[in-house]
Amino acid sequence: MAVVFKAPHALVDVPLHYCPGCTHGISHRLVAEAIDELGIEGKTIGVSPVGCSYNNYLYFNCDMIQAAHGRAPAVATGVKRSLPENVVFTYQGDGDLAAIGTAEIVHAAARGENITVIFINNTIYGMTSGQMAPTTLLNQVTTTSPFGRNAKDHGYPIRVSEMLATLEGPAYIERVSLHDIKHIRKAKEAVKKAFKVQLAGKGFSMVEILSTCPTNWGLDPIEALKRVERELIPHYPLGVFVGADLEV
């Protein structure tokens, strides 16, 4: 019997701990499928963040390193500079990457560090139960902006892809979304391209993945996906910010 669908080898066959409807599972699968299809599991080293995906070192079948909050790009730099022939990726949420880890991501990008960053943007801190993130939209209610985020007190949400695209170091930056099948397919191509950019030695690559947090958004999974399309994409437009013409 022909196998037409199976779990990627680069994912360990264990139940994930994520909440029902959370899109981390899809993101994990996209990364694992890219690793499988490129045949790079044996030479890949992933760096886990602090946040909901802190223990995805248990889920990915490649060698994994757990990093301190926000420091994954620095850790990945140390790994890549030690093993330049290997493939190194970080997997980071928006609290990890866009708040406490801002210096690390900016400078890894500025150096054109030849690593791949998978950036999960769901506009909230999930692990610590729904606090305001740098990416939280104006008027969005969180546990630390209970009356909605307002620009006067909290400033404005950061568009990380656009910000990093102003640097000369990055080779490829794209923002994708997981809110429907069509966009998931596109996200997969972006993740795969990011790894190919690294394999080609082109420099820093990042895919920002617009994701959901049904639990802390207080929405059911379907409504959460709809919110991505309705509210996130207008503020965080999809597209390629660096490397649109890059052939790898």
Partner 1 sequence: MGQKLLMKGNEVIAEAAVRAGCRHYFGYPITPQTEIAHYMAKRMPEVGGVFLQAESEVSAINMVYGAASTGKRVMTSSSSPGISLKQEGISYASGAELPAVIVNIMRGGPGLGGIQPSQSDYFQATKGGGHGDYHMVVLAPASVQELYELTVEAFNIADRYRILTMILGDGVLGQMMEVVNFRDEEKIDTCDKSWAACGHENKREHNTITSIHIDPAVLEQWNIRYQKKYQAIIENEQRYELYNCEDADIILVAYGSVARICKGVIKEAQAQGIKLGLLRPITLWPFPVEGFEKVVNIPKAFLTVEMSAGQMVEDVKLASNGRKPVYFTGRMGGMIPTVDNVLSKVKEILGR
Of residues 75 and 118, the one with the C-beta less far from partner 1: 75
Q: How far is the CB of 210 from partner 1 (least distance, A)?
A: 27
Of residues 81 and 185, the one with the C-beta less far from partner 1: 81
Of residues 40 and 225, the one with the C-beta less far from partner 1: 40
Q: How far is the CB of 162 from partner 1 (least distance, A)?
A: 21
Q: How far is the CB of 133 from partner 1 (least distance, A)?
A: 20
For every residue of 100-165, DSSP letters joined together read ITHHHHHHHHHTT-S-EEEEEE-SSBTTTTSB--TTPPTT--BTTBTT---HHHH-----HHHHHT
Of residues 74 and 228, the one with the C-beta less far from partner 1: 74
Binding site for partner 1 (CB under 8 A): 41-45, 47-48, 54-55, 57-58, 60-68, 71, 74-83, 86, 103-104, 106-107
Is residue 115 a contact partner of residue 80, using CB atoms and an 8 Å limit? yes
Q: Which residues contact 71 (CB under 8 A, 6 or more apart)?
A: 101, 104
R_g of the chain, CA atoms, integer Å: 17
Backbone φ and ψ for 142, nearest 5 degrees, come out as -135, 175
Q: How far is the CB of 6 from partner 1 (least distance, A)?
A: 18
